[in-house]
Amino acid sequence: MTTTIRTAGQMPVQFAIPMPTPAATAAAATTLKNIALFLAAPFIGLVYAMALPFVGMAMLAVIGGKALVKAPATWQALAAAKEVALFLAAPFIGLVYAVTLPFVGIALIARAAYKAYRA
């Protein structure tokens, strides 16, 4: 690409502006990508280091869970644990019902009144 500069009282000056080739553009993009990866590498490593204990615990739980499921006594223990958990949660479930049921009743009465109004 050539460009001409014209100034008052002087001869026009032409000069060529070099256009980047596709290979040069690809090389520049690769260089920028490498620089970005170089700058991001410590943070990526930090994320891996911070996640490692959680990944290890999850793998330990998966392997232990698979071994535990194969034992027949596991199902009996889980059934007993379910019954104990429901026994311990029953008072709190009853409290939730006792607190919320008056509001549910008011809502049902309001709905019935609205239906009667619309009819």
Q: Tell me the C-alpha distance between 78 and 91, whole Å.
A: 21
The CB-side HSE value for 99 (13 A sphere, CA atoms) comes to 6
Q: What is the average pLDDT across 66-89?
A: 88
Judge if 81 and 50 occupy the same domain.
no
22-53 pLDDT tens trace: 888 888 889 999 999 999 999 999 999 999 99
Judge if 65 and 27 occupy the same domain.
yes
Domain membership flag for residue 41: yes
Domain membership flag for residue 107: yes
94-111 pLDDT tens trace: 999 999 999 999 999 999
Query: Model's pTM, two decimal places?
Result: 0.38
Domain membership flag for residue 78: yes
Judge if 65 and 37 occupy the same domain.
yes
Judge if 66 and 77 occupy the same domain.
no
Instruction: Tell me the H-state helices in the chain.
Output: 22-70, 72-118
Residue for token digits 């309001």? Answer: 110
Specify the number of domains making up the chain.
2
Q: What is the average pLDDT across 59-70?
A: 89
Domain membership flag for residue 17: no
**Dihedral of the alpha carbons of 103, 109, 110, 111, in degrees to the nearest 10:** 110
What does residue 54 show for φ and ψ, rounded to 5 degrees?
-70, -40
Q: Which domain holds residue 62?
A: 23-70
Strand, helix or coil at 3?
Answer: strand
Domain membership flag for residue 14: no
Domain membership flag for residue 87: yes
Domain membership flag for residue 15: no
Strand, helix or coil at 77?
Answer: helix
Judge if 81 and 111 occupy the same domain.
yes
Domain membership flag for residue 18: no
